[in-house]
A and B are shown apart, each in its own frame.
Chain A
């Protein structure tokens, strides 16, 4: 099993896919977080679907991860696309039979792929969280948001809780993507 995971990781770490996916995640994370703080006084809203998130909400212990939580759904969609494409390509390119000749057992191969892709998703979520929290802290001053409660135990708890929720959501979307890839057998 461990060999399947490492083999899959070799495919996932190729620069176009790795940096492309991380880049897309960071772009959306940065955009969402920046809008949240820079448009805090906008009448058109500063969060998803035009919702207004006030300073009072961002001042709370959970304020540091508000931007990150908002982008969780998008990260899920990105994971869905990556998981689906990585699974479907094995059938499109006919490479699955190569894998089976080296490692008989379809279930073992699919499980190994899933674990490797989950690791990929975890890295994605961790980087997005770090960037979003850092950006929130950087922009908080400009948006006149108080960060006193962000780094208390309640704040850390909120960070941990959000990280867990987003991770579960991303993995769920990823598994859905893998199932789609298995059924459709084509990344397009």
Chain B
């Protein structure tokens, strides 16, 4: 019995123009939420398409629930997916669209009504898909992905077009599913959202995996920052001097000293400031957030 929901080894997809995905390696444990991030064109959708058996890799291999992606029929009944946005028949109602997919996949039709309510489309299930707003289309896409009661849920930008309330609902839904044992593999450009829900993170840049591991490991790899404010602004330079003398990089930005260093050093700084007669009004060690880390690692900050 595998403990990995997704296991990718040396996976590549090469087109005439070059590698869309190049020798990707990562694993996603069962029952976790894994964020899949990368700039546009990094190869996220290509990777997802390969995992779902929609396109064949040109190199390497991957397994979903222990089954090779060469045989998608062996695992797709346990996988829910929404890729490249929701796609449905505009002339059919949301409910009918789900019934088409339920019939095709051999899932109980009764699940349709239940899922319509679960994603917050009750009362609109009978309306034609073409009358739906972008947010409603996304919700229907998520409902379609949930049809098989999946062990793995693969979602490509599921919060696109959703309002803040909708985003929170999706976040709660994904957390709930993960708590029930569903593995969620979700790509999104809303990094702050992923930071809130993901335990694992796979970061892609130009088709290459630049990081794959737990969110904690990722953030710990980055240099933490200590933010310092003093009672007298003129004391800030003294704080910078203390930091430099202890070998830490430090700058003053908008009346706040930003010192690169571990959180534990904040205590030392506090003591030294007290000895120097400086009154600190703020001493806040901070880990970099996912967005900063993402730009740092992908080097894409302009």
Please report A residues at the B interface, Cβ cutoff 8 Å: 3-4, 6-7, 10-11, 14, 16-17, 89, 93-95, 97-105
Count A/B pairs, Cβ under 8 Å: 66
Q: Which residues of A contact B103 (CB under 8 A)?
A: 3, 6-7, 10
Interface: B155 (CB within 8 A): no
The contact of B100 among A7, A93, A94, by CB within 8 Å, is A7
Interface: B90 (CB within 8 A): yes
Which A residue sits closest to B52, measured CB to CB? A101
Complex Cα spacing A85 to B108, Å: 29
Complex Cα spacing A98 to B90, Å: 14
A sample of 18 cross-chain residue pairs with beta-carbon separation below 8 angstroms, ordered by A number, consists of A3-B103, A3-B104, A6-B103, A7-B100, A10-B96, A10-B103, A11-B100, A14-B96, A89-B89, A94-B87, A97-B83, A98-B87, A101-B52, A101-B79, A102-B147, A102-B148, A104-B73, A105-B73
Q: Besides A93-B89, A99-B104, A100-B52, 4 other CB < 8 A contacts?
A: A3-B105, A7-B104, A14-B91, A101-B54
CB–CB B91/A102 < 8 A: no
Which B residue sits closest to A4, measured CB to CB? B104
**Chain B min CB distance to A9 (Å):** 8
CB–CB B81/A101 < 8 A: yes
Complex Cα spacing A3 to B76, Å: 15
Complex Cα spacing A14 to B130, Å: 15
CB–CB B105/A10 < 8 A: no
The 7 residue pairs across chains A and B that have the minimum distance between CB atoms: A94-B87, A7-B104, A102-B105, A7-B103, A104-B72, A102-B104, A10-B100
Complex Cα spacing A11 to B93, Å: 11
Interface: B50 (CB within 8 A): no
Q: Which residues of A contact B54 (CB under 8 A)?
A: 97, 100-101
Q: Which residues of B contact A101 (CB under 8 A)?
A: 52, 54, 76, 79, 81, 83
Complex Cα spacing A7 to B92, Å: 13
**Chain A min CB distance to B280 (Å):** 56
Interface: B88 (CB within 8 A): yes
Q: Which residues of A contact B91 (CB under 8 A)?
A: 14, 16-17
CB–CB B76/A102 < 8 A: yes
Task: Please tell me the number of chain B residues within 8 Å of chain A, measured between CB atoms.
Answer: 28
CB–CB A10/B99 < 8 A: yes
Q: Which residues of A contact B81 (CB under 8 A)?
A: 101
Which B residue sits closest to A103, measured CB to CB? B104
Q: Which residues of B contact A17 (CB under 8 A)?
A: 91
**Chain A min CB distance to B131 (Å):** 14
The contact of B88 among A7, A93, A105, by CB within 8 Å, is A93
Interface: B106 (CB within 8 A): yes
Q: Which residues of A contact B83 (CB under 8 A)?
A: 97, 101
Interface: B42 (CB within 8 A): no
Which A residue sits closest to B72, measured CB to CB? A104
Complex Cα spacing A17 to B92, Å: 11
Complex Cα spacing A16 to B79, Å: 33
Q: Which residues of B contact A97 (CB under 8 A)?
A: 54, 83-84, 87
Interface: B162 (CB within 8 A): no
Q: Which residues of B contact A10 (CB under 8 A)?
A: 92, 96, 99-100, 103
Interface: B53 (CB within 8 A): yes
**Chain A min CB distance to B172 (Å):** 25
